[in-house]
Chain A
Amino acid sequence: MPLVFAGVCSHAPGIVGRADQADVSAKDRLYEAFDDMRRRLEASEPDALIVVAAEHFANFFMNNMPSFAMGMADYYEGPIENPEWLGIEKTTIPGDRSLSERLIQKVMERSDVSYAEEWKFDHGIMVPLHFLTPNYDLPIVPANINCQGPPLAPLHRAWAFGEALREAADSVPERIALIGTGGISHWPATPDSGKINEEWDRRFLDQWSHCDKEAMLSYSDNQSYLDAGQGAFEIRTFITISAATEGAEGTVHFYEPIPIFAVGCTIATVNL
């Protein structure tokens, strides 16, 4: 059936792991926005949540790197990171192998996707779940777009992946929710960590909220790298959500640069 929920959010590890170092009011505003997103997600009564993430070498490495991958297991593990560093305990997250297999089979009709029966979550999925499904009681279907190890799939392929995900969600009887997680401009895991190009972010989010396909697909990785850091390669996850909800407007509920979290923190949903 049609998607019951769609949105995007940040996943930076500092959001939880360095919460004690942030401006208290800024952190509280972000956390309230995450809570609001959780309430919206819960109100949609989903049977499962597809998380389109940009993982950071938790499962996939340059010896065998898929551009697009989806998980196909009844459970997953995470986080891979030191729990004290991330601020999230190691746990088991439910999946749904049958649902994954049906979704993947459908996605394959339009998009080349790898599948993985084993998948360890890193902060890219664990931070969103920490806020959105804190009891880990909603089956997750992880999806990944390689945004870390070039060469990267071009943006129009991320769009095509989103179109395929929408068709797949439409084809199953379950109520499917969909989120994309990633940064916009940021320079994560570098000495420039904390740098944020707010103007660049706001322009992209305006385009995203209007589902402006032409504008979003006009970005080049070379220019984004100069203007918005290597973290901006993760706009692929946002673009995929736009493609999966083409024609619908989005609402940015929260955007605020929080340097200690190393990203312009973002919470947005699509008006389905």
Chain B
Amino acid sequence: MQKFLFELNRDEDFQSRYAADRRGALIGFDLSDEEQRALTEPDIGLLFHLGVNGQILMHFAALHSIEWQDYLQQMRDGLDEHGPVREGVYAVTGYEGVQTHSDRLGQTSNIENGR
């Protein structure tokens, strides 16, 4: 699953093939039905839960032009729906969130303007 995303994230020709036929682009990769579904919808939350490295997932979300706050929320939703990350080095520590953190630092963030 991560190998597929690694190849996709760095190859514009592969991205074009994926855009034209998402399921067809998976041919040749050893993927379960659940993984195929997560990659083709795409389901960011499920991919995070399944253990896709966050940096790989971040580039994949960017490829789909998923706005930053939506991307973070989709990961949170994935944990709520599916449970903790199955493997990998991504603990969730109970962060207060960017808005509250920025306020505490006296920074006026403009998150609502995010694209």
Contacts and interface: CB of A to CB of B under 8 A. Distances in A.
A193 interface: yes
Given A57-B56, A230-B90, A23 B108 contact: yes
Interface residues of A, number: 45
B79 A191 contact: yes
Contacts of B32: none
Contacts of B57: 189
B110 A21 contact: yes
B109 A23 contact: yes
Contacts of B114: 18, 20-21
B107 A22 contact: yes
Nearest to B85: A190
B109 A82 contact: no
B20 interface: no
A187 interface: yes
B98 A82 contact: no
Given A20-B115, A191-B76, A194-B98, A225 B89 contact: yes
A85 interface: yes
B57 to A, nearest CB: 6
A81 B62 contact: yes
Chain B's interface size range is: 35 or more
A190 B10 contact: no
A257 B93 contact: no
Contact of B109 (A80, A86, A150, A259): A259
Interface stretch (A58-66, A93-101, A238-246): A58-66
Given A21-B114, A191-B76, A191-B92, A258 B53 contact: no
B26 to A, nearest CB: 17
A57 B111 contact: no
Contacts of B91: 190, 225
A117 interface: no
Contact of A57 (B9, B63, B102, B107): B9
Nearest to B74: A191
A192 B57 CA distance: 15
Interface in B79-94: 79, 89-94
23 contacts: A20-B115, A22-B109, A57-B9, A57-B56, A61-B3, A80-B10, A80-B59, A81-B63, A84-B65, A187-B95, A189-B53, A190-B54, A190-B75, A191-B79, A194-B101, A195-B93, A195-B96, A225-B89, A229-B93, A259-B101, A259-B102, A260-B98, A260-B107
Given A21-B113, A59-B10, A188-B58, 12 more contacts: A20-B110, A21-B114, A22-B107, A61-B6, A122-B59, A148-B53, A187-B93, A192-B95, A225-B91, A259-B102, A259-B107, A260-B109
Interface of A: 13-14, 17-18, 20-24, 26, 56-59, 61-63, 80-82, 84-86, 120, 122, 148-150, 187-196, 225, 229-230, 257-260
Which 6 A-B pairs rank lowest in CB-CB distance, beginning with the nearest? Answer: A189-B54, A23-B107, A56-B55, A85-B62, A194-B98, A192-B95
